[in-house]
Structure 1
Amino acid sequence: MLLTRPTRPHPAPRFLRRPKAALLASAVTVCLVAAGAPAEPLGVGDRIFPELGNPGYDVAAYDLAFNYSGANDKPLKAVTTIDARLTSSLRRINLDFAHGTVESVEVDGRKAAFAGAGEDLVVTPDHALPLGSVTRITVRHTSDPRPADDQDGGWVQTTDGLAMANQADAAHLVFPCNDHPSDKAMFTFHVTAPNGYTAVANGLPTGTVKNGGSTTWSYRSQHPMATELAQVSIGHSAVVHRAGPHGLPLRDVVPAADKKELEPWLAKTPDQISWMESKIGPYPFETYGVLMAQASTGFELETQTLSLFEKDIFTEPAYPKWYIESVMVHELSHQWFGDSVSPRTWSDVWLNEGHATWYEALYAEEKGDHPLKDRMKAAYGASDRWRAAGGPPAKPKPPAPGQKIGIFRPNIYDGAALVLFALREEIGKAAFERLEKVWVQENRDTSVGTADFVRLASAIGGRDLTGFFQDWLYGEKTPPMPGHPDWKQVPPPAPAGPAKKS
């Protein structure tokens, strides 16, 4: 995720997010209350978001069906089907869901009771589910595209339809799920919209079916995906196809009326993928593309195989070419770092944003003559202030209540990229570059944590780097930069004094 609305074009300010409404306060509307003890919300105990995710099962696959009427002020009719394996014996199943009306729930084809509890939908089947069993949960519900009080994320209203922005952990504003990046699953999408609209989702198309005045578009992912990375675009869109490196199918989604104007930017993706592959190895998914939405979000987002961008970033003349391309590479880098290799907890998000910022800056150095060293020296000067405000890179401070996107602070963008720069200085360029390639190859399609990165870096670096990472990732103060003893912290500018009277 990346902010793209600085006051003036500059490579550094994007880590700050525009203040938005608080998140996830509304409860699920239910039509049937479970009998017995009151339903309670659960979570997997994430340090940042302890109530998100749910214990006791592992989702294998989601099948999501949405029916869009063409009106953004009306809820979509939806059916979510979840196939899951039980990792504990359960009498109840908690799902994350917080912005829709549940009409019915079935477990293995039999009606189940359900109730809302906080941001959870609590399902009580008519029989206990034993450890190791495989179960199918079918929820018929609405999915509301209208923003609610104290909520942010989920559906994004565009001028001609909808898109999704589910980070951080806002997918449960759209569909019932186990909304934590540690539980990745396969996804299938079926999106029905009036004729004249185009629907696109993660993965590859599996067919379209016309039925009178509407069309149903279907897509399926070929790799597991975290819920925060789900993407569905519905609009008066053109889908532009081209071949990428090694014949990789690329498809971009743009407003149909702006296709010609945006084509020069779309044509840059194949070379950007080739550049990334030269740094860290083969692209990890079945397709890629950019979704240019006519919406004001304040950020770009690495939704898997189809990165979300505000269209205006490509048409705003104040942004220089090198800057826009580096933003495109930031989101492309996330396909490796964050999407293919996902964080096990939200405290590990520095692995996503630090790496994406690293390759964004490296691209700007090689293609735009903006030295990486200069950017890292500037980051070093501000690092202590960032740590004080947002916490160390691998121990970010929790966001303010209702402000989940508040975790996206400078400490996990340039502050985390600074850790990677220090690591390269510590173990040498050759070892660092090998580490990057091995990291994405060995952990493809998994969720991993900071400790895994430390272990691999130590193995490839040829020595125990636990102490090095402890200081750089968890210290309240920024350690000395290896090889650069002259780098110092820069105090913030002094506040302006009172104006003198004439």
Structure 2
Amino acid sequence: MPHSPGARPPQHRRRLRRAALAAAVPLLLLTAAAPPPAPLGIGDRLFPYLGNPGYHVTDYALTFDYRGNDRPLEAVTTIEARSTERLDRFNLDFARGTVRSVEVNGARAAFSPVEEDLVVTPAHPVPRRTPFTVTVHHTSDPRGGDGGWVTTKDGLVMANQADAAHRVFPSSDHPSEKADFTFRIRAPKDLTVVANGVAAGRTTRGATSTWTYRTRHPMATELAQVSIGRSAILESTGPHGLPLRSVVPVGRRDGLAPWVAKTPEHLAWLERRLGRYPFENYGVLLAEATTGFELETQTLSLFEADLFTKRSFPAWYLESVMVHELAHQWFGDSVTPRTWGDLWLNEAHATWYESEYAESKGGRKLADRMRRAYEYSDLMRADAGPPAALKQPAPGKKVAIFRPVVYDGGALVLYALREKIGARAFEELERAWVDRYADRTVTTADFVALASKAAHRDLAGFLRPWLYDTATPPMPNHPDWKATGKPA
């Protein structure tokens, strides 16, 4: 029969209770363990997994070893950051590379790639509100397309918009995370390397050279640029002695130099409207690559070289495109959108000054362009959403946010605003905008607030439907303008 031990003394019951609690400790620890590594983001409505919570980046130091545009580059990314909370682990945005090792404050850290994130577990947690350093040894693979590295005829350039810098280097890849950058690129000595910012030295050992560049203003990851190839650097000066350095293929220097020489005039034209150029230098990068776009990387705007040699477009049009990318140095690069939903603040203004330049040089009236944009505005909004409330891009279609509604549709918002408050107040607003928010990030609400200040009245009620409604509001001073339901 079963043996009954009978009643136990109280002290024995206490021992059993302690033993039971001890046995439960591993179960409690298991229950409290951190969840499995997962991709994180800062909640951008259009790209929810971009950026990372728990810290802010202040500096990037990027080192690349280039041995050909058909193979991965060996790379080291060093990130200086400051925590906003205790970090037992944290995420970096990174894809398209192999991670060799990770260190946090000099100590080896565990890491786990998860989708397009790299989850890092430091040997010792990072306390809240503390500076810390992350060093990632990795490869950076230019193969595969879809943004990041772009292969040229004899090298590489970068095109990181809108969701692609983390295909090149580990980062907090969101425009709100502006930081200082240092680039060190090792390449065969017969190649030329150029990056954002100012040259800080070149050393040659044997068959290779190491080029160093540093930015003097904070920069969003999507604006980073490195050009590697058989290139010539064309140097000159712009207004008030601004250093200019442009990059062209060596074999096409003579044909492209006249286009490069137009840059000082473009700078002077924009400075008369916006005030001084906001960075340490400027230039155009004319690459032998097929991209289908031009891109405002900070201090060095990227263009397809063939754009200027095929004679498919009139000169005034090509110059207006150059002005568009140059205007982005103010709108988008210096004054940077805090979320991708604020993209219209970049493209509307660049389109505005492109159009004004086309009017002054090519006789294409801004008002005519805006009237046509108004005609198709409802269709643009139906296609991509209102200018400040874009539809989320479909998976694998991240560049779908760059739709006509943020270009001509956004410029139409500016035209309506100018019609409402008058040309003088509008011009004062534009200057105040780029001056007040230089080197900072902004939202659509910031623009509405500053526009109201410039107009000396609350414009939120006027601008809200222009920015957020699916139907285009009536255009001030133009009751005859009508939207059409017919596709362009």
The normalised TM-score by structure 2 is 0.92
- Relative to its length, the structure with more helix (as a share) is 2
What's 2:27 paired with? none
Task: Find the counterpart in structure 1 of residue 199 from structure 2.
Answer: 205
Counterpart amino acid of 1:54? N
Segments of 5+ residues of structure 1 without an aligned counterpart are 1-34, 495-502
Give CA deviations for 1:334-388 in whole Å, capped at 9, x if unaligned. Answer: 0000000000000000000000000000110111111000000000000000001
Question: Deviation digits for residues 432-451 of structure 1, max 9, x if unmatched?
Answer: 00000000000000111000
Shift of 1:99: 0.7
Q: 1:273 maps to which residue?
A: 267
Is 2:69–2:154's contact at 8 Å kept on the other side of the alignment?
A: no
Q: Which letter does structure 2 place at the counterpart of 1:203?
A: G
Confirm or deny: 8 A CA contact 1:169 1:227 kept in the other structure.
no
- Structure-2 separation of matches of 1:467 and 1:391: 19
Structure 1 partner of 2:469: 475
Aligned position for 1:153: 147
Aligned to 1:221: 215
SS of the aligned residue for 1:60 comes to strand
TM-aligned CA deviation for residue 490 of structure 1: 2.3
- Structure 1: distance between partners of 2:81 and 2:399: 29
Equivalent positions of 1:454-473 (< 5 A) are: 454-473=448-467
State yes or no: 1:45 paired with 2:39.
no
2:362 counterpart residue number? 368
Match of 1:64 in 2: 62
Equivalents in 2 of 1:103, 1:436: separation in Å? Answer: 47
For residue 124 of structure 2, give the secondary structure of its aligned residue in structure 1.
Answer: coil
1:297 correspondence with 2:288 = no
Alpha-carbon separation, structure 2, partners of 1:493 and 1:409: 15
**How far is the alpha carbon of 1:40 from its aligned partner?**
1.0
CA distance in 2, matches of 1:56, 1:342: 21
Q: Is the 8 A contact 1:105 1:140 kept in 2?
A: yes
One-letter code aligned to 2:42:
V
Letter in 1 for 2:290: S
Cα distance in 1 for partners of 2:127, 2:426 equals: 46
Q: Which has the larger radius of gyration?
A: 2
1:443 maps to 2:437: yes
Give how far 1:469 is off: 1.2
With over 3 angstroms needed to count, the CA separation of the structure-2 counterparts of 1:192 and 1:493, relative to structure 1, is closer
Paired position in structure 1 for 2:344: 350
Q: Which residue of 1 aligns with 2:81?
A: 84
2:395 maps to which residue?
401
Work out whether residues 48 and 398 of structure 1, in 8 Å CA contact, stay in contact via their aligned partners in 2: yes
Instruction: State the partner residue of 2:15.
Output: none
CA distance, structure 1, for counterparts of residue 399 and residue 424 of structure 2 = 35
The alignment partner of 2:52 has SS state of: coil
Alpha-carbon distance in 2 for matches of 1:450, 1:88: 28
TM-score normalized with structure 1 length: 0.90
Higher relative contact order (CA 8 A, sep 6+): 1
Deviation at 1:491, TM superposition (A): 2.9
Q: Which amino acid aligns with 2:60?
A: Y
Aligned to 2:332: 338
Any gaps of 5 or more consecutive residues in structure 2?
Answer: 1-32
CA distance in 2, matches of 1:367, 1:322: 6
Aligned to 1:356, the other structure's residue is in SS state helix
- CA drift of 1:36 comes to 6.3
After TM superposition, give the deviation of residue 318 of structure 1 in Å.
1.4
* TM-superposition CA deviations, 1:159-213 (whole Å, max 9, x none): 0100000000210000000000001000000000011100000000000010111
Alpha-carbon distance between aligned partners in 2 of 1:89 and 1:467, rounded to the nearest angstrom:
42
* CA distance, structure 1, for counterparts of residue 124 and residue 314 of structure 2: 61
- Give the partner amino acid of 1:120: D
Return the match for 1:98 from 73, 95, 99: 95
Q: What is the root-mean-square deviation in Å for CA atoms of aligned residues?
A: 1.0
In the alignment, is the contact (CA less than 8 A) between 2:376 and 2:487 conserved in 1? no
* Whole-angstrom CA distance in 2 between matches of 1:191 and 1:404: 29
- Per the alignment, residue 23 of structure 2 pairs with none
**Partner residue in 2 for 1:8:** none
Q: Who is 1:285 aligned against?
A: 279
Match of 2:135 among 138, 143, 149: 138
Q: Does 1:166 align with 2:160?
A: yes
- Provide the residue aligned with 2:302 in structure 1: 308
Aligned to 1:413, which of 389, 407, 410? 407
Q: Which residue of 1 aligns with 2:8?
A: none
Q: How many Å separate the matches in 1 of 2:463 and 2:164?
A: 31
Counterpart residue identity of residue 332, structure 1: L
Cα deviation, residue 88, structure 1: 1.4
Please name the residue that 1:238 is paired with: 232
> In structure 2, which of residues 92, 97, 112 is the aligned counterpart of residue 115 of structure 1?
112
SS at 1:300 equivalent:
coil
Post-superposition shift, 1:118? 1.5
Q: Give the superposition deviation at 1:493.
A: 5.5
What amino acid does structure 1 have at the position aligned with 2:125? A
- Cα distance in 2 between the residues matched to 1:263 and 1:366: 23
Mapped to 1, the partners of 2:363 and 2:305 lie a distance apart of: 25
Aligned identity (percent) is 63
Letter in 1 for 2:277: Y
- CA distance 1:462–1:36, shift in 2 (3 Å): closer
Partner SS state of residue 81, structure 2: strand
**Distance in 1, Cα, partners of 2:174 & 2:153:** 30
What letter matches 1:59 in structure 2? V
User: Separation in 1 of the partners of 2:462 and 2:79?
Assistant: 42
Q: CA deviation at 1:262?
A: 0.6
Does 2:70 align with 1:73? yes
Contact (CA 8 Å) 1:156, 1:165: kept in 2 or not?
Answer: yes
Give me the whole-angstrom Cα distance separating, in 2, the residues matched to 1:169 and 1:181: 10
The 1:491–1:234 alpha-carbon spacing in structure 2 relative to 1, beyond 3 Å, is same
Could you tell me which residue of structure 1 aligns to residue 53 of structure 2?
55
1:351 and 1:88 map into 2 onto residues whose CA distance is: 31
Counterpart of 1:135 in 2: which secondary structure?
strand
Give the CA deviation at 1:37. Answer: 4.2
2:419 corresponds, among 402, 411, 425, to 425
